[in-house]
Amino acid sequence: MKPTGNPSLLSRRHFGRQLLLSGASLGLLPAILRAQQAPGFIQGNRPVIQGGAMTGDIIGSTGVFWSRSDRPSTMLLELSTTPKFEQSRRIRGPVALEDTDFTAKLTYGALPPGQTIFYRLGFEDLANPNVISEPVTGSFKTPPTGKRDITFAWSGDTAGQGYGIDASRGGMRTYEAARKLQPDFFIHSGDTIYADNPVEAEMKLDDGSIWKNVVTEAKSKVAESIADFRGNHFYNLLDENVRRFNSEVPIYFQWDDHEVLNNWYPGKLMTADQRYTEKSASVLAARARRAFFDCLPIRPNPIERIYRNIPYGPSLELFFLDMRTYRGPNSANRQTELDDESAFLGRQQLEELKRALVASKATWKIICSDMPISLQCRDGKDAFEAVANGDGPALGRELEIAELLRFMKEKGIRNTVWITTDVHHCSSIYHDPNKATFQEFDPFWEFISGPLHAGTFGPPASDNTFGPETRFLGIPKVMKGNRPPSDGYQFFGTMKIDGKTEELTVTHWDVNGKNLWSVTLPPKLG
């Protein structure tokens, strides 16, 4: 027999009853009140939350909560389906200690589906349980079990090319433009930090104005230690737009190069870069990966793997790629066979992606790539950084993409769309096998949108291997590189799935929240 009545109310009642079943529950606000009334309570000596709170990697009933204290303390979390917290669940979370810079991350697995969840998060002083921080509040949406409208946003590239937080210019304003659209979630497509781009207190722009950065010790030099990398993540949280966005929108993160250093690959050595005392990119990447997992609400796993697939109801599944960890060295990229030198995703990641695509029952399958597949991204004069290597047949890293596209065609995997950032502009690219040198694939779209807050550049040349045709370009075809955020060329994209028709509408937006271009794609069903 199917349950009757309002499903939301049923979910809320069930959620409220969970409080009675939890032996580890803790009343957060009552605890704060008790602390305030306790003898010896000192208002100025309470733990202080640093950088607000974030949620992410929400899969079904499970989500990840993140925050940071200023001292050894225990995370306290209260959850409810109502903003007044009439019924709630209270959870005592992990302890924040010095070895993670007082960050704490809680994975919680009893969230009701298809709901807006409200939370209050605080920290209890480990040395004195009578001292509790002021709580921070937030909200997020959980995935639906049935079809409904879904809207998500994506972009990347935060605090790059020397453009940090200039409060006099409104800070990182693209985050606020995206927040106002109230997406169900956000995908940060990489370059979450620029660990290799220090910021100076002032930069003179070519219009004669001065860009004035907030400066911290961690952002005053290139990152080498784990603490340096964490400090780059913490820097972004100094911006009120970022904190407000994080409190209202769950985020799914992936990385690209600047989480470590520009154009890195395993085994790279920075012998000529005098800024670095540690010359091994692999050593830096290991430290950066640890900071990435410490500082973001990405789901913990024993090997700190970044690639993963995340289902989001019956209409959508996300497939996150890692194009850094398993690649071969940047080269002329003209190998004729797949081997360690031409690897990009690597065999294990490629095979797991194939299996996940075949197993997916979702109508739309969004491949979240940290680099474009159709644009020529160079690493110096004679080497390539991404997939494309110039017109012609599939060679080098293109061989993996060709294998994947052929596989999807052979298996009848429909409704795949690629999204990325990386190249600091926005564009919409249609891939047509009839215009390609490699033709064993079904037509598909690749959408590029960014940066969130970084320099903007003109588009790289395309590559005809997979038949790209640019249908929209959000910047002038020719422009002077490294344009500041104050020029207005900062972008993000959204995708909206109609709950009834399952049509997918893709839109590019600018920093002012202006709709620049849109296309609606009908699903191929059956």
List pLDDT tens digits, range 296-336.
999 999 999 999 999 999 999 999 999 999 999 999 999 99
| 472 strand-pairing partners | 428
The string of DSSP codes covering 114-155 is T-EEEEEEEEEESS-TT-BPPPEEEEEEPPPSS---EEEEEE
Report yes or no: 333 and 371 within 8 Å, Cβ to Cβ. no
Q: In angstroms, rounded to a whole number, what is the distance separating the alpha carbons of residues 216 and 201? A: 9
pLDDT of residue 51: 98
Residues of the chain with pLDDT under 70: 1-44, 526
Structural domains in the chain, CATH included, are 7-139 (2.60.40.380), 150-521 (3.60.21.70)
Whole-number pLDDT of residue 2: 33
- Within 10 angstroms of residue 238's Cβ, the number of other Cβ atoms is 18
H or E stretch including 176?
helix 173-180
Q: Whole-angstrom Cα distance, residue 73 to residue 96?
A: 5
What pLDDT does 29 receive? 52
**DSSP symbol at 501:** T
pLDDT at 18: 44
Query: What pLDDT is recorded for position 481?
Result: 83
Instruction: Give the pLDDT confidence score for residue 11 in this predicted structure.
Output: 46
The backbone torsions φ and ψ at residue 235, rounded to the nearest 5 degrees and listed phi first, read -55, -45
The pLDDT, as a whole number, for residue 480 is 87
